[in-house]
Chains A and B, each alone.
Chain A
Amino acid sequence: MEHENLIQIRPQKNLPPRLTFMLVLRGIRYRLLRSSMTLAVITLAVVFFMSMLAGNAFLATVGNGVRKEIARERTAARLLTLVTAKPTSLGHTASLALLHHALASRDAAERAQAQAELALYVGASGMDAIEFRGLVDGAQREKLLLDFFAELDFARRKALLGRVEGRDALLLLTDEAVRGKFLHALAGMGTVRLPMHRDEFAAFEAGYAAYLERQARFMNAWNQTIDRAAPILAGLAGGASIDEALSVADPGAQARWKSALEACGFAVSAAELARVCDQLAWAKEREAVQRALSQPDKRKKWRQIFFEDPPNLQKMAMLGHPRVGPILGGRYSQAQRERIAARFRAETRLGELEKKVDERSGGERVEGLSSRQVFLIVISFLVCMVGIANAMLIAITERYKEIATMKCLGATDSFILNMFTMEAAFQGAAGGLLGTLLGFLVELARGSLSWGSTLYRYFPAADLGQVALLSFAVGIGIAVVAAIYPSWAASRMLPMEAMRVD
């Protein structure tokens, strides 16, 4: 009799995600306010992450900007070195390795400058562009390996290479048998890693002799370029030194210098040459003022007027003071002194900024997160995830009745799981948004304090946008990952809990 009347029972269908989403959306305002604990933890984690990334972005752009300004300030020194100095072979390695780096720079202006320099060297070397490019690549690898050997501690180096050092080591390793033993010993050291893949290393060593030969050829050609240029430039300087002559060059003289330099193979733009002349003139002017300030009678006068005798650097900065005029015997007008003081102060500030950048970045270029920062972030995320999971577990035990009731109404386990994961994603989004904003503000305040107006000059808007998106996503990510266990626990709750009266 019972079999005829069997009621129809099928497996309950899962609610599609869209509907689950709608249900979650319905209660989310209420939930977000009640789960303030979870929200706070997520927000904190994201603030930490965002401020670290944003701080890095600030340091990177300000650092690169300051370095570029410094490089610009040193155009004269660079040009003079370029046209007069004969670097050693290792010096060439270092400068070509730098060139290699600059050629791959993210900064378009820096890349363009590197291209120009490359063209100059190619012209001087008598090689074709491809051969020279090979030399540049080789230099970069050689530099990497030399630095690697130089940084090895004594015991390890001795174990690996005996007493050989520097290029001798690289030469020794061209022998395949020696190299094999070396690589084997290195692999045994575990923590020490070659700065390149071993195939690349083998290829470099195989071509090392050819590379050295090529570099010698380039050095030779470059020295000849310098030698050829020397009499021409000396003739143009007319007895004075080149920098002396350039420091007083008027536009007409500058044009003559420009064509002479080009004739010698050193292409230089008019603007660049004008900058060089200006910098040399300024250096002379500054030195003259400093020399004047150092004279005993001037120092005495200074003390009479200001009751102290500070170091020259301080005096230079105060040069615009009206009472300094008489000290210098009226040799400089008020306006002149003010201009000198302003330029000196700008120079000093740039120097200070450079020092600060070097301090913060350890002298390295800031490209991404350091391994220490990554470690900190990972640890903080783990801690936060435990915190979030705990807060969510508490929130879920508070809601046991709601969950059980839903199960009485036909909710499946996976619906509950989806629902809580989605709620967590919402919390993550809210915390991510809040944290990103707060982290940005915190870092903006910190950045303004350390960099001042320089920060706004090099404001990394695009990078910050990326970083903000990433932080936001991270907020959602950690919330969802942390919610896995609590949501699972919620989905396993028994429907009979709904009957309980409290």
Chain B
Amino acid sequence: MSETQTAPITPEAYASGREVLLRAIGVQKHYQRGSETIRALKGIDLEIIEGEYLCIMGPSGSGKSTFFNMIGGLDSPTNGRIFIKGVDMAQLNAEELAFLRCRRIGYIFQSYNLSPVMTALDNVTLPMVFAGASADEARTRGMKILRRVGLEERWHHRPKEMSGGQQQRVAIGRALANNPSILLCDEPTANLDFKTGREIHQLLFDLNKNGGVTVICATHDWDMLAVSDRMVWIADGCIEKIEITKNIKIEKASMGGEDSHA
């Protein structure tokens, strides 16, 4: 395990001189269920570089979502610390966490979580409203974002009137509303078919490469590896290995969870 953590960062990242955006040090999470303690995370150390595209993979129940909650400021670790650009998340109070969630992090959920009563545009502009943007400003920026995700002419449609892929694109637009530095996606394509999933991957890839957004993506979808820079494999609450995607692409077919090539 120690050797996997010695080569965590892409050479390109170092070459570009980019900073560490997120740093997790010894993150543990225990859930108490009655007398039994569930150790969902058993000590995660990870550095995430600004502007990279990171895939987090692993079997179901391995702790991916739990780790997401920690780095997204949605829940606090039992032990260990998480820094976002040098700020210790544990030091933030409720209002500061709300601020962080509003402007620094964008969340994308497996089940889209759009408000069914709002139009696409309203959904996208909701975080802007929370951030205190004026109605006009929110509107223009919202339309720009909708154009970016390819749904400009659908701005007045409600989620019910859109396909799953379109809904997820609205959700991505909503996550981008306040120009976050990080996009956290928890299985964004799990509810979508292969082709639509690929469109989402392309969109995320585009945002990462041309928009400079750091994308962290939990997924079971091997196809997503194609667009990512690094892959973190979590099993049973521990990081089992960290790979640079370029190196494993050729052996994709042989990837079955065993780490013979490392």
* A contact residues vs B (CB 8 Å cutoff): 2-3, 5-7, 9-13, 15, 19, 23, 26-27, 30-31, 401-402, 405-413, 415, 494-496, 498-499, 501-502
Contact assessment for B103 and A408 in the assembled complex, using a CB-CB cutoff below 8 Å: no
Residues of B within 8 A of A19 (CB): 129
Residues of A within 8 A of B111 (CB): 401, 501-502
B233 part of interface (Cβ distance < 8 Å): no
Query: In the complex, A502→B110 CA distance in Å?
Result: 10
Query: In the complex, A2→B82 CA distance in Å?
Result: 13
B19 part of interface (Cβ distance < 8 Å): yes
- Given A11-B93, A410-B127, CB of A6 within 8 Å of CB of B87: yes
Interchain CB contact (< 8 A) of B95 among A15, A412, A502: A412
- Given A26-B118, A496-B74, CB of A409 within 8 Å of CB of B19: no
Contact assessment for B117 and A30 in the assembled complex, using a CB-CB cutoff below 8 Å: yes
B206 part of interface (Cβ distance < 8 Å): no
A2 to chain B, nearest CB (A): 3
B14 part of interface (Cβ distance < 8 Å): no
B86 part of interface (Cβ distance < 8 Å): yes
10 smallest CB-CB distances across A and B, nearest first, come from A410-B102, A2-B86, A11-B95, A12-B98, A27-B117, A410-B130, A496-B74, A12-B99, A7-B85, A405-B113
Contact assessment for B110 and A501 in the assembled complex, using a CB-CB cutoff below 8 Å: yes
Contact assessment for A2 and B85 in the assembled complex, using a CB-CB cutoff below 8 Å: yes
Q: Mark B99-139, 1 if CB is under 8 A from A, else 0.
A: 11111100101110101111000100011011110000000
Contact assessment for A407 and B117 in the assembled complex, using a CB-CB cutoff below 8 Å: no
Interchain CB contact (< 8 A) of A5 among B19, B74, B99: B19
B69 part of interface (Cβ distance < 8 Å): yes
* Smallest Cβ-Cβ distance to A408: which chain B residue: B107
A-B CB pair tally, cutoff 8 Å: 113
Contact assessment for B92 and A9 in the assembled complex, using a CB-CB cutoff below 8 Å: yes
Residues of A within 8 A of B190 (CB): 501
- Given A27-B118, A405-B109, A412-B95, CB of A499 within 8 Å of CB of B68: yes
Contact assessment for A495 and B122 in the assembled complex, using a CB-CB cutoff below 8 Å: no
Residues of A within 8 A of B93 (CB): 11
A7 to chain B, nearest CB (A): 4
* Smallest Cβ-Cβ distance to B68: which chain A residue: A499
Interface size class of B (residues with CB under 8 A): 35 or more
Task: With a 10 A CB-CB cut-off, give which of A5, A31, A494, A499 has the most chain B CB atoms.
Answer: A499
Contact assessment for B102 and A26 in the assembled complex, using a CB-CB cutoff below 8 Å: no
Contact assessment for A6 and B86 in the assembled complex, using a CB-CB cutoff below 8 Å: yes
* Smallest Cβ-Cβ distance to B23: which chain A residue: A2
A-B contact pairs, 26 of them (CB 8 A): A2-B83, A2-B85, A5-B85, A7-B84, A7-B86, A7-B87, A9-B99, A9-B100, A12-B102, A23-B126, A26-B117, A26-B118, A27-B115, A402-B113, A408-B74, A409-B177, A410-B98, A410-B103, A410-B178, A411-B98, A412-B95, A498-B109, A499-B69, A499-B74, A499-B110, A501-B187
Task: With a 10 A CB-CB cut-off, give which of B85, B92, B190 has the most chain A CB atoms.
Answer: B85
Task: With a 10 A CB-CB cut-off, give which of B75, B115, B174 has the most chain A CB atoms.
Answer: B115
* Smallest Cβ-Cβ distance to B65: which chain A residue: A499
B139 to chain A, nearest CB (A): 14
B96 part of interface (Cβ distance < 8 Å): yes
B38 part of interface (Cβ distance < 8 Å): no
Contact assessment for A409 and B87 in the assembled complex, using a CB-CB cutoff below 8 Å: no
A415 to chain B, nearest CB (A): 8
Contact assessment for A11 and B96 in the assembled complex, using a CB-CB cutoff below 8 Å: yes
* Smallest Cβ-Cβ distance to A23: which chain B residue: B129
Query: In the complex, A30→B122 CA distance in Å?
Result: 16
Residues of A within 8 A of B15 (CB): none
From 174 to 202 in chain B, residues with beta carbon under 8 angstroms from any chain A beta carbon are: 174, 177-178, 181, 186-187, 190
Residues of B within 8 A of A411 (CB): 98, 130
B94 part of interface (Cβ distance < 8 Å): yes
Query: In the complex, A9→B103 CA distance in Å?
Result: 9
Residues of A within 8 A of B187 (CB): 501
Interchain CB contact (< 8 A) of A410 among B109, B113, B131: B131
Residues of B within 8 A of A498 (CB): 74, 107, 109, 113
Query: In the complex, A102→B116 CA distance in Å?
Result: 63
Contact assessment for A402 and B101 in the assembled complex, using a CB-CB cutoff below 8 Å: no
Residues of B within 8 A of A3 (CB): 86
Interchain CB contact (< 8 A) of B174 among A11, A409, A496: A409
Residues of A within 8 A of B74 (CB): 408, 494-496, 498-499
Contact assessment for A15 and B186 in the assembled complex, using a CB-CB cutoff below 8 Å: no
- 8 more CB-based (< 8 A) A-B contacts, given A5-B19, A15-B129, A409-B102: A6-B86, A11-B95, A402-B113, A406-B126, A410-B131, A410-B178, A496-B69, A501-B190
Query: In the complex, A3→B86 CA distance in Å?
Result: 6
Residues of B within 8 A of A5 (CB): 19, 85-86
Query: In the complex, A282→B100 CA distance in Å?
Result: 91
From 1 to 34 in chain B, residues with beta carbon under 8 angstroms from any chain A beta carbon are: 19-20
Interchain CB contact (< 8 A) of B94 among A2, A402, A412: A412
A231 to chain B, nearest CB (A): 90
* Smallest Cβ-Cβ distance to A411: which chain B residue: B130
- Given A30-B117, A499-B186, CB of A10 within 8 Å of CB of B109: no
Residues of B within 8 A of A6 (CB): 85-87
Query: In the complex, A410→B127 CA distance in Å?
Result: 6
Contact assessment for A410 and B99 in the assembled complex, using a CB-CB cutoff below 8 Å: yes
Residues of A within 8 A of B95 (CB): 11-12, 412
Residues of B within 8 A of A408 (CB): 72, 74, 101, 107
Query: In the complex, A83→B68 CA distance in Å?
Result: 98
Contact assessment for A9 and B129 in the assembled complex, using a CB-CB cutoff below 8 Å: no
